[in-house]
Structure 1
Amino acid sequence: MTPRFKADPAFDPGSVVVCDWPLCQVRLQDDARFPWLILIPRRAGLHEIEDLTGPERTLLMDEIVRAGDVVRMLGEAALRPVQKLNVAALGNVTAQLHLHVVGRRHDDGLWPDPVWGRGPAAPYGAQALQAAASRIRLSQAG
């Protein structure tokens, strides 16, 4: 029996599930300072990109580009256009394979430093978080 995918519970306090794409679960990081998605390939037992098959790695790259488009859309919606995308698969805290796609601006308060582990986060608030999640789902419907 093949193990089933389950996102590490460590993702739950800081992000919300928005939708599933062909390979990845898409989560919105609950930090309004940055438009920020987390992509978690929906395969059990993955720790490194090399654990994916060749076709899955290609699909992951396609989904990273797609996430970049969504992050840029979120930045535009917040009237803070993204100037640079940061993409990383760190896994130092949560070993499960996941990728961060973060929109950055030269005036974002942490520029040019990385955002990982730099807080405190600025939670969206329930209504704004749901609005951003809905915006993501609607942008992907067409």
Structure 2
Amino acid sequence: MILHPQLEKDCVTVGRFPLSLLLLINDSNYPWFILVPQREHIREIHQLSEIDQQQLMHESSVLAECIEQAFNADKINIAALGNMVPQLHVHHIVRYTTDKSWPAPVWGNVPASPYSADDSNNLCIKMRLLLKEKQLQ
């Protein structure tokens, strides 16, 4: 499967679930992850097979639980918008009542603040370890 160029530009690959590629958005304002189902020409969740829909929901739930605990989130925002990137991808954004955009959506609210290479790498390692414990990596 080919990753959309915008996702390629904006993200770092964390790992792979059985169905989805796990990405980290390069914006340190929020811990922000994306699941991209590894299926060609899919724009909407309902276009996935029923088995893949169930797998995506499972992966999303496990990811949300992990990031909620790992980052002590006040809220996890989960969305599959696709307005800018038509390839099906599901955002998982850790939100805090004290973050720069609260309570508004994160899109376009404040400029992205890229991670340093070390911070990005450390965050990816942290997530791989957490997900390995859940036996998904």
TM-score, normalised relative to structure 2 = 0.92
Q: Distance in 2 between matches of 1:58 and 1:139?
A: 21
| 1:46-125 to 2 correspondences below 5 Å | 46-75=42-71, 81-125=72-116
Aligned counterpart in structure 2 of residue 37 of structure 1, from 25, 33, 39: 33
| Superimposed CA distance per residue, residues 20-65 of structure 1 (whole angstroms, 9 cap, x where no aligned partner) | 1011000011111111110000000000111101111111111111
Q: Do residues 27 (structure 1) and 23 (structure 2) align?
A: yes
Aligned to 2:131: 140
Q: Secondary structure at the match of 1:12?
A: helix
Letter in 1 for 2:50: G
Q: Greater CA deviation, 10-19 or 85-94?
A: 10-19
Letter in 1 for 2:94: G
Letter in 2 for 1:141: K
Gaps spanning 5+ residues in structure 1: where?
A: 76-80
CA deviation after TM superposition for structure 1 residue 140, in Å: 1.7
Letter in 2 for 1:58: Q
Q: Do residues 18 (structure 1) and 14 (structure 2) align?
A: yes
Aligned counterpart in structure 2 of residue 131 of structure 1, from 94, 119, 122: 122
Q: Distance in 2 between matches of 1:32 and 1:111?
A: 15
Gaps spanning 5+ residues in structure 2: where?
A: none
Identity %: 34
Q: Greater CA deviation, 115-124 or 127-136?
A: 115-124
Please tell me the root mean square deviation across aligned C-alpha atoms, in Å.
1.1
Letter in 1 for 2:131: Q
Q: Secondary structure at the match of 2:91?
A: strand
What is the number of equivalent residue pairs in this alignment? 133
In the alignment, is the contact (CA less than 8 A) between 1:74 and 1:132 conserved in 2?
no
Letter in 2 for 1:24: S
Q: Distance in 2 between matches of 1:126 and 1:73?
A: 24
Q: Secondary structure at the match of 1:133?
A: helix
